[in-house]
Structure 1
Amino acid sequence: MNVVPDLLQQDQWRVIDQSALAVHLSALHSFGMDDTLCASVGGGTASPTARAWVHHDTIVLGIQDTKLPFLEEGLNYIKSQGYQVIVRNSGGLAVVLDEGVLNLTLIFPEREKGIDINRGYDAMWMLIKEMFSDFNKEIEAKEIVGSYCPGSYDLSIGDKKFAGISQRRLRAGVAVQIYLCVNGSGSTRAELIERFYSLSKKNAETKFDYPDINPAVMASLSELLQIDLSIQDVMFRFLHALKNKCNHLFTGELSSDEAALFEAYYDRITERNEKILGD
């Protein structure tokens, strides 16, 4: 584990905080932003960047989810519950975003020898552990069977998952993304995805294995730590932990060059979603 700290330890970290602003934007905006930052940080024209984002009720599907045999029925259900639907450009399966879910992205430049995929995951895991170290609760990274979007870096306390980590690599940049269920009911979010898969798959045989969801294995940090946590509380912890990993922490926005890049990446993912979802 001794190789992990040097990934978090950067001379400077730029922070783009969209934990309030992005609530009013489509989640497609965030995936376009992360691709933009991969390109600029990977190309050496921008500092390593940390981004925080929150979106209003949205179900983010993975590419595999779009292959479900009765997808239209599942999508209609999600929309009937007041949720938007998008398809992301990184790996994984369906997840829930709402105003109690904080998303964090760390964007690193890929060095000459490259960043091993587990090293990126470990960096995020270590950061989250540091953010909540005062609670004396063990935060494990392992697959939580029965959760939505299961993976070997599900973060859990007492075998209940509160976060999932994904990665996207683009143009020599690495974006490590995590969703943190900060407050609200983790099991209620899971019930929504459980119903989506039930309607979209039914009893059909599929080439890909979709998760058999057990809502009882998912919870929010507020539920697990038995404290009323807000998004702002967790943002404070995030910034404090990141400040310890650099000489200079500063807030910023996209440069003019990045803004031009963003338009292209946002258009690309928007067009892709229109083709897949027919919206």
Structure 2
Amino acid sequence: MDRLFNEKDWRFIDQSFSARNRSPLESFGMDDTLCHLVGHEKSNPVIRTWVHDDAVVLGIQDHRLPFIEEGMSVLRNAGYEPIVRNSGGLAVVLDSGVLNISLVFAEKESVSIDVAFMRMVNFIKAIFPELEARIEAYEIVGSYCPGTYDLSVDGRKFAGISQRRMQNGIAVQIYLCIEGSGSERAELIRQFYEVSLKNEKTKFVYPRITPHVMASLQEIMSKKITVTEVNSRIQQRLLEWNGDLQFMPLQQEELELYSHYLTRIFKRNESLLSI
């Protein structure tokens, strides 16, 4: 395991329940805040778990689709609220069966993009020792938000990883499809792109979604595993590595900084959705 996990006192922020009925924009504001705090050595490194109900997080390129308004109507009609995130990547589904994890640490030494991604890959393998030998990291063609560090088992993707750097802090974020149907989530995004593109040619090549290449961990493991159980696994593993874990939400003096980043993100999202 990366020495990062053995030598640090980790701060744990559990928002797997408290964030569910709130906008995912709040989570992006939270991670920006944590990057600032950790990057300026005002906080220990952070592991944050978070869940949001029924939203589709769009990337900047998604917002440039020729019929984006019609595509967003597809999402809203299915009960999902579209938002635009402040980092790269493409459309991703969030719901109560998807657990998100953010690893936030300082860039004290030169940490390459690949090394930061691999920290998350190795962390997930440690959380699921029964799958460790079968989990692979490579782009799954036909998945939504495809990338080099897609995580899959037997060619079926269950997770995707993104990365954000600011204020000398690094936030590596992953979504884990744990409960429900991975292919049903992918079908929603397939319909979104179909309506948003209408076969028009664009400079940017959007993914052609083939839903069967995506699955949840319940489907892959053929057993009932829940978001709550995985959240507990994470805490247990950290305790095994470090012997202690700081359960510490944002403190009063940190909330002002959070308010600053959250306001900035909401304004940016509003301006993008109004274009």
Q: 1:12 aligns with which of 9, 14, 17?
A: 9
2:221 matched to 1:225? Answer: yes
Task: Kindly provide the amino acid, as one letter, of the partner of residue 21 in structure 1.
Answer: S
Give the match for residue 256 of structure 1: 252
Asked whether the equivalents of residues 163 and 179 of structure 1 are also in contact (C-alpha less than 8 Å), the reply is yes
2:84 matched to 1:87? Answer: yes
2:158 matched to 1:156? Answer: no
Residue 34 (structure 1) shift: 0.3
TM-score normalised by structure 1 residue count: 0.96
Asked whether the equivalents of residues 26 and 55 of structure 1 are also in contact (C-alpha less than 8 Å), the reply is yes
For residue 188 of structure 1, give the secondary structure of its aligned residue in structure 2: helix
2:200 matched to 1:204? Answer: yes
Q: Trace 1:8-157 onto structure 2 (pairs within 5 A).
A: 8-111=5-108, 113-135=109-131, 138-157=134-153
Determine the C-alpha separation between the residues in 1 that align with 2:135 and 2:224. 18
Determine the C-alpha separation between the residues in 1 that align with 2:192 and 2:253. 40
In structure 1, the gaps of 5 or more residues are none
Residue 210 (structure 1) shift: 0.6
Determine the C-alpha separation between the residues in 2 that align with 1:135 and 1:156. 10
Q: Quick one: percent identity of the two aligned structures?
A: 51
Task: Kindly provide the amino acid, as one letter, of the partner of residue 148 in structure 1.
Answer: Y
Determine the C-alpha separation between the residues in 1 that align with 2:105 and 2:221. 30
Asked whether the equivalents of residues 178 and 218 of structure 2 are also in contact (C-alpha less than 8 Å), the reply is yes
For residue 249 of structure 2, give the secondary structure of its aligned residue in structure 1: coil
For residue 199 of structure 2, give the secondary structure of its aligned residue in structure 1: coil
Seen in structure 2, the aligned counterparts of structure 1 residues 117 and 136 have a Cα distance that, compared at 3 Å, is closer
Residues 242-251 or 208-217, more deviating: 242-251
For residue 74 of structure 1, give the secondary structure of its aligned residue in structure 2: helix
Determine the C-alpha separation between the residues in 2 that align with 1:66 and 1:11. 39
2:233 matched to 1:237? Answer: yes
Residues 139-197 of structure 1, C-alpha deviations (whole Å, 9 max, x = no match): 00000000000000000000000000000001000000000000100000000000000
In structure 2, the gaps of 5 or more residues are none
Determine the C-alpha separation between the residues in 1 that align with 2:143 and 2:253. 40
Q: 2:187 aligns with which of 177, 191, 203?
A: 191
Residue 202 (structure 1) shift: 1.3
Determine the C-alpha separation between the residues in 1 that align with 2:114 and 2:55. 28
Asked whether the equivalents of residues 37 and 258 of structure 1 are also in contact (C-alpha less than 8 Å), the reply is no
Q: How many residues align?
A: 275
Determine the C-alpha separation between the residues in 2 that align with 1:193 and 1:11. 39
Asked whether the equivalents of residues 11 and 247 of structure 1 are also in contact (C-alpha less than 8 Å), the reply is no
